């Protein structure tokens, strides 16, 4: 069960959570960006409060936000009901997540990274899967035959949290604006030499198409 956890400063809002039990160790990306280091971050609460300068990790496998309480050297899984979003500082980059509780689609609720914010938002659902792999020895000398593998998915979000999955392919982009706009979208893609090979090119393409006044059909 969840219980209140003191944040680092006595006058900050109390965070609600339970002791974090880390999954069994396997090689690969279990956490976002780092497996060994904690990121400095801010948690935004559902009541409008926020708590800054926390040590945080995002567990990709379980879609959980983990907080390290220095006072008692304990890792805490924060209660999703209390959290509306969070920001992690990774090097010079600030990574923004928002919680989507209810969607008008089959996509499940949870934490989504906001890659681009505009008339429609581009989101990433960060994930990991446990896959069979060639055997290897862990740092503790145990033989393993599984590893964590990134399984990110991308979505377009409307103002009412309508969510449309989008793949890193031009055809997937074409289909998001309706049948009658396919030729126009195709011309814009060619004229601007837009690709869909990775996240950076997806965001660039989306900015260009929004600037052209095109709107997604949900």
CA distance 102 to 108: 8
At 5, the pLDDT band (50, 70, 90 cuts) reads: low
Find the range with the poorest average confidence among 4-13, 16-25, 204-213: 4-13
Q: For the segment 184-200, what is each residue's pLDDT rounded down to a tens digit? A: 999 999 999 988 889 99
pLDDT computed for residue 196 by the predictor: 87
pLDDT at 2 over 70: no
pLDDT at 75 over 90: yes
pLDDT at 146 over 80: yes
CA distance 25 to 23: 6
pLDDT at 103 over 80: no
Mean pLDDT of 160-165: 84
Domain coordinates of the chain in residue numbers?
Answer: 3-166, 167-218
pLDDT at 1 over 60: no
pLDDT computed for residue 210 by the predictor: 92
pLDDT computed for residue 179 by the predictor: 86
The 3-class SS string of the chain reads CCEEECCCCCCCCCEEEEECCCCCCCECCCECCCCCCCEEEEEEECCCCEEEEEEEEEECCCCEEEEEECCCCEEEEECCCCEEEEEEEECCEEEEEEEECCCCCCCCCEEEEEEECCCCEEEEECCEEEEEEEEEECCCCCEEEEEEEECCEEEEECCCCCEEEECCCHHHHHHHHCHHHHHHHHHHHHHCCCCCCCHHHHHHHHHHHHHCCCCCCC
pLDDT computed for residue 7 by the predictor: 57
Mean pLDDT of the chain: 89
Q: For the segment 12-36, what is each residue's pLDDT rounded down to a tens digit? A: 678 999 999 999 989 999 999 876 7
């Amino acid at each position: 069960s969840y219980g209140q956890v003191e944040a680092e400063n006595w006058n900050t809002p109390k965070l609600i959570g339970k002791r974090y039990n880390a999954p069994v160790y396997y090689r690969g990306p279990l956490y976002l960006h780092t497996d060994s280091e904690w990121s400095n971050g801010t948690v935004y609460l559902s009541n409008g409060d926020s708590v800054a300068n926390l040590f945080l990790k995002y567990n990709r496998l379980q879609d959980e936000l983990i907080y390290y309480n220095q006072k008692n050297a304990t890792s805490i899984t924060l209660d999703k009901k209390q959290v509306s979003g969070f920001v992690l500082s990774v090097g010079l980059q600030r990574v923004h997540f928002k919680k989507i509780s209810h969607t008008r689609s089959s996509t499940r609720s949870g934490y989504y990274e906001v890659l681009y914010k505009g008339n429609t938002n581009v989101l990433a659902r960060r994930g990991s899967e446990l896959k069979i792999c060639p055997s290897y020895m862990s740092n503790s000398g145990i033989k393993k035959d599984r590893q964590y593998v990134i399984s990110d998915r991308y979505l377009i979000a409307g103002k009412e949290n309508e969510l449309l999955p989008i793949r890193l392919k031009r055809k997937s982009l074409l289909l998001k604006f309706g049948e009658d706009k396919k030729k126009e979208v195709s011309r814009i893609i060619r004229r601007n030499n837009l690709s869909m090979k990775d996240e950076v090119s997806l965001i660039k393409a989306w900015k260009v198409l929004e600037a052209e006044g095109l709107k997604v059909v949900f």
